[in-house]
Amino acid sequence: MPRSTRKIPWASALLCLSLAAGCASLRSPQERPAGGDPAALTVVAEIALERGDCKAAAESYARAAAVGAAPLARRASEVALACEHLPAAWQSVSRWRSLAPGDGQADALYAAVALKLYRLADARAAIADFWRVQAREQAKPSEPEQTPEPGKAREPRKLREVGKAGRPAANLTELTALLLEQSDAPAVLAAMSGAFELASVSPEVLSLLGELALDGYDAQRAQRYAQLALERNPSDFAAKRVLARSYVVRGDPAKAIATATEARRDDAVRGAFELAEILTALDRVEDAHQELEHLRTTDASPAEIDRRLALLAFHAGDMKEAQQRFAELAARGEANDAALLYLADIAARDGDTDAALAGYRRLADSSVALPARSRAASLLLARSNRTEALTLLDDYAAEHPESEFELTLAKARLLADHGEAETGLALLSTALERHPQHPSIQYDRAVILEQAGHVHESAEVLDQLLVERPDDPVLLNALGYTLADHGLQLSRAESLIRRALVTMPDNPAALDSLGWVRFRQGDTKGAIPVLERAYTLGRDAEIAGHWGEALWMSGQHQQARKVWAAALAREPDSAALKATLARFLPDAK
């Protein structure tokens, strides 16, 4: 199926939109254009919201914004983005920004919508304007914190502080968080990297860009940002963290370990787990385990040590140790929702469906409610308990209407995964009516079409998306992999994948695509090292299947078995890996 190189940024609308209501004041509105009554249009929009018609509300607000002042345009932008109505969001936020030049809040939301539409140049311009506002405001005294009006909830710090005077690096961090909620890291990196003069930014900003480059699968760029930061501040802890991780990705474990050790020595509090994290990233499980046990002789939190040991065991495929450690945390009352979710996942892996369902249901209204409900629904669908499965998701949507978009996509994917691709496609078609021209819906449609065997139609959808987003590396890789996996247009497939790798050179899914297309072209020898690197970076079972297949076809049967066995221990339920094993080792259990 089309290969996703990211977590698709589904709506987290309230989190993202509240940023627009930050502390910076709006500029005086420009003269109101003629045509239409903004007050009447606003009433129509609010009535639509009350009755749950998000599309009508977004469109009415967009019409109101076109003839209204800046505060109305801001509200229209918020509603449209919350409703995932991108045409209305773009119209409204463009209006807001034109009415409020120099307003960092308008620039921030404009950049977020531009990135969702992959309008990188527009996003970059808005980010540059946002940064200029920060630089201009830096010399001004900070405004005192406002006391909330009676009955009005205080906005979360992450949201309400964006745009405050005198804190440009912190504001940029909040902007980055907003953009990552709405788009993927390679796109955010592409927009942000051209918005600053590196010679004039602080080590803190350079470290932030380095973290973003790591998230965007460009370790060489991350290393460059970190080294620039350290030239300006040799003791910058964040820069050393970025540098150590860039060495991991670039295949230099000695430098990674040395840098992590230095960071830990320089800051024993923030760096307590630094070496353990790097050893884990290097897949040196025993060394990481020893390091975590050694930390018991320090002031490090015992509960945090146990949590990390449990995670280490889980990701290494040692479910017995992971279950024991997570259970001990729970018995001591030290397990958070994520730890309890792991316990339910382990029960599911062990085939104890009843225990897994009980665990997921206990988390149905927790901070991990959506993944817990989705995984429970998957188990119920596997049991042919369709009604209860879908009710789990529908009930959550009724209680959390802001999650409707995300839940619709989750439901479509679940149905497709359990043999109901046509029903999933029908859900997506309905969703496109509510959220017109939404690229995430169209992308999922391509995935499910391929899953259902409609390969050419899937490729056509991806091609159409590329017309609007010609340089989107996620789409380039998805189409390239789809073509390669089905033996279609292999030269074009390789070209598409290589274009994706220009933007995200260390992306394991894209590297897997490159290795796979070379294997499909008959270049088994050339495919093997590429697939090995892809697996080293991603530890993904499907990639292991490809790497092992290339090894097998080159005559390296023992090495192929070793690769498959290690991956199966990590991901025993991987359908892709199981399918590969069934072809080459039909008698294996």
pLDDT surpassing 80 at residue 160: no
Three-class DSSP category at 33: coil
Asked if residue 176 and residue 46 are part of one domain, the reply reads yes
Closest by CA to 509, choosing from 4, 81, 8, 27, is 4
Same domain, 567 and 487: yes
pLDDT digits (tens, 9 = 90+) for 48-74: 999 999 999 999 999 999 999 999 999
User: Phi/psi of residue 344, each to 5°?
Assistant: -65, -40
- Nearest-5° Cα angle at 31, 30 to 32: 110
What sign results for the dihedral spanned by CA atoms 462, 468, 470, 473?
A: negative
Question: Residue 547's domain is classified under what CATH number?
Answer: 1.25.40.10
What CA–CA distance (Å, rounded) separates 100 from 26? 6
Residue 587 has a pLDDT of 81
Distance between CA atoms of 340 and 102, rounded to whole angstroms?
46
The span from the CA of 125 to the CA of 534, in Å, is: 34
**160 and 221 share a domain?**
no
Residue 260: CB atoms within 10 A of its CB come to 28
Query: Is residue 336 assigned to a domain?
Result: no
User: Residue 125: which residues within 8 A CB-CB, separation 6 or more?
Assistant: 195
Within-domain flag for 93: yes
- Pair 256, 116 in one domain: no
Q: How far apart are CA 114 and CA 179, in angstroms?
A: 10
Are 61 and 88 part of one and the same domain?
yes
From CA 104, how far away is CA 16, in angstroms rounded?
15
Cβ atoms of residues 220 and 246 within 8 Å: yes
**pLDDT given at position 2:** 63
pLDDT score of 142: 52
20-24, 58-62, 167-171, 260-264: which has the minimum mean pLDDT?
A: 20-24
CA distances from 431 to 49, 55, 392, 435, 444 (A): 17, 11, 19, 6, 11
Answer yes or no: do 53 and 173 share one domain: yes
Residue at token pair 């497709």 = 416
DSSP 99-110: HSTT-HHHHHHH
* Cβ neighbours around 47 below 10 Å, total: 13
Residue 68 phi/psi, 5-degree rounding, is -110, -175
Instruction: Say what the pTM is.
Output: 0.89
Query: Rounded to an integer, what distance in angstroms lies between the CA atom of residue 123 and that of residue 512?
Result: 30
Q: Distance of CA 89 to CAs 57, 63, 181, 308, Å?
A: 11, 11, 16, 41
Query: Which of 28-42, 129-143, 365-379 is the most confident on average?
Result: 365-379
Judgement on whether residues 240 and 170 belong to the same structural domain of the protein: no
Quick one: pLDDT at residue 460? 98
What letter does residue 383 receive in the DSSP assignment? T
- 320, exposed or middle or buried, with CB in 10 Å at 0-12, 13-18, 19+? exposed
| Residue where the block lists tokens 């890291």 | 185
What per-residue confidence (pLDDT) applies to 589?
60
- pLDDT score of 379 more than 80: yes
Q: Would residue 337 count as lying in a domain?
A: no
Asked whether 281 and 245 are in contact (CB, 8 A), the reply is yes
Question: At a CB cut-off of 8 Å and minimum separation 6, what does 98 contact?
Answer: 30
Are 27 and 111 part of one and the same domain? Answer: yes
Q: Is 70 exceeded by the pLDDT of residue 15?
A: no
pLDDT score, position 302: 96
Based on the fold, state whether residues 235 and 177 are members of the same structural domain. no
**CA gap 177, 174 in Å, rounded:** 5
d(CA 481, CA 494): 8
Burial class (CB in 10 A: 0-12, 13-18, 19+), 433: exposed
Asked whether residue 465 is domain-assigned, the answer is yes
Can you tell me the distance from the alpha carbon of 261 to that of 317, in angstroms, rounded to the nearest whole number? 27
pLDDT confidence of 168, banded at 50, 70, 90? confident
pLDDT mean over 489-510: 99
Query: For residue 501, how many other CB atoms are within 10 A of its CB?
Result: 20
Q: Which candidate, 264, 209, 199, 194, places its Cα nearest to that of 232?
A: 199
Q: Residue 95 pLDDT > 70, yes or no?
A: yes
341 domain residue, yes or no: no
Contact 133, 102 (CB under 8 A): yes
The closest of 474, 452, 15 to 462, measured between CA atoms, is: 474
| pLDDT of amino acid 166 | 54
More confident residue, 371 or 29: 371
Q: Kindly state whether residue 372 falls inside one of the protein's structural domains.
A: no
For residues 207 and 61, membership in a common domain is answered with: no
For residue 19, pLDDT over 80 is answered with no
59-64 contacts: CB < 8 A, separation 24 or more? Answer: 59/85, 59/88, 61/88, 61/92, 62/88, 62/91, 62/92, 63/36, 64/36, 64/38
Last residue of a domain, one of 300, 335, 367: 300
Determine, yes or no, domain membership for 296: yes
What amino acid occupies position 427? L
Give me the residue label for tokens 């072809």. 583
Q: Is residue 434 part of a domain?
A: no
Which residues form the domain of 295?
Answer: 197-300
**CA-CA distances (angstroms) from residue 561 to 468, 528, 555, 583?**
43, 15, 12, 13
The CA R_g of the chain, rounded to the nearest whole Å, is 25
Distance CA 239, CA 231 (A): 10
pLDDT tier, 249 (very low <50, low <70, confident <90, very high otherwise)? very high
Tokens encoding 163: 């745009």
Total structural domains in the chain? 3
> 245 pLDDT exceeds 60?
yes
> In the predicted model, what is the mean pLDDT of residues 189-208?
93
Residues contacting residue 31 through CB under 8 Å, at least 6 positions apart = none
Average pLDDT over residues 430-447: 97
CA atoms within 13 A on the CB side of 121: 2
Report whether pLDDT(31) > 50.
no
Q: Is the pLDDT of residue 303 over 60?
A: yes
| Whole-number pLDDT of residue 36 | 73
Last residue of a domain, one of 284, 300, 316: 300
- Which residues 6+ apart lie within 8 Å of 510 measured at CB? 3, 5, 217, 473, 477, 497, 500, 501, 504
Query: What digits encode the pLDDT tens for the residues 330-370?
Result: 999 999 999 999 999 999 999 999 999 999 999 999 999 99
Shared domain check, 500 and 585 = yes
CA distance 139 to 66: 35
Q: In this predicted model, what pLDDT tens digit does every residue of 382-428 receive, in sequence order?
A: 999 999 999 999 999 999 988 999 999 999 999 999 999 999 999 99
Q: What's the whole-number mean pLDDT along residues 258-265?
A: 98
- For position 340, what pLDDT does the model report? 98
CA distances from 22 to 30, 174, 182, 274 (A): 21, 11, 18, 34
Top pLDDT among 193 and 20 is at 193
Whether 94 contacts 114, CB under 8 Å: no
pLDDT at 135: 77
Closest CA to 158 of 142, 175, 182: 175
| 511-559 confidence digits (pLDDT tens) | 999 999 999 999 999 999 999 999 999 999 999 999 999 999 999 999 9
Q: Determine the average pLDDT of the residues in 224-243.
A: 98
Residues 175 and 88 in one domain: yes
Q: What is the distance between the alpha carbons of residues 267 and 205, in angstroms, rounded to a whole number?
A: 20
Residue 310, φ and ψ in degrees, nearest 5? -65, -45
Task: For residues 226 and 203, give the distance between their C-alpha atoms in angstroms, rounded to a whole number.
Answer: 8
For the chain, give the mean pLDDT: 90
Final residue of a domain: which of 300, 317, 335? 300
